[in-house]
Amino acid sequence: MVEMGVSESSGQKLRDITNRLLETDPREIMAYWINEELEGAEMYHRLYRISRESTWDERIPSVFLVLYNESIRHAEKLFEMYKRMFPGEKPGSVQLSSLKVELSEDRLERMLRHGRIRDLLEILMEGEKSAAEVYEYLEKHVENSDTEKIFNQLSQIERGHYQRLKELYEALD
């Protein structure tokens, strides 16, 4: 059983996803993460759009825009890596839940419009940190060096997202 430092509410989901990823080949891991980055980009773009309309602090939409652009670049980088690793193949669909925070647009908008930006940032930071921890765990528990490298890169991406959110969180004090 996988044990990581996450809250009890999300712990079982993360353990299930982690155990599944341990059994997944590099092709599926890459396809999965390309999709994760694209979904993350969509969420950060929604946050950018909503926060631009509902907050006076320009730093908030600015960070969300940066995270949106980074997620798009990461997806592109992963897709290029996928094409090099698996020439002539297209990433398929992987039936696995998301590691990312899943918040409805209504909930995002309510949190921003009601001035709960710090609460929102805490949720987002927890999601990014949990994803990084999952990838670090996986990196240590796979035997394939290509897969290990992928998990290392994914962990670094998530740590970068976490750091950006944390910097904004601390700046809002």
At 11, the pLDDT band (50, 70, 90 cuts) reads low
At 161, the pLDDT band (50, 70, 90 cuts) reads very high
Helices 26-54 and 59-85 sit at what angle, rounded to 10 degrees? 160
Higher-scoring residue by pLDDT: 106, 52: 52
Does residue 4 have a pLDDT over 50?
Answer: no
Lowest average pLDDT, out of 58-62, 98-102, 115-119, goes to 98-102
For residue range 38-56, list pLDDT tens digits in order.
988 998 999 999 899 887 8
pLDDT of residue 6: 41
pTM of the model: 0.81
pLDDT of residue 97: 75
Burial 14-51 (b: 16+ CB within 10 A, else e): bbebbeebeebebebbbbbbbbbbbbbbebbbbbbbbb
Instruction: Look up the CATH number of domain 11-16+25-171.
Output: 1.20.1260.10
pLDDT of residue 170: 96
Q: For the chain, which residues make up each domain, given as ranges?
A: 11-16+25-171
In the chain, what percentage of residues exceed pLDDT 90? Answer: 28
Other Cβ atoms within 10 Å of 137 Cβ, number = 20
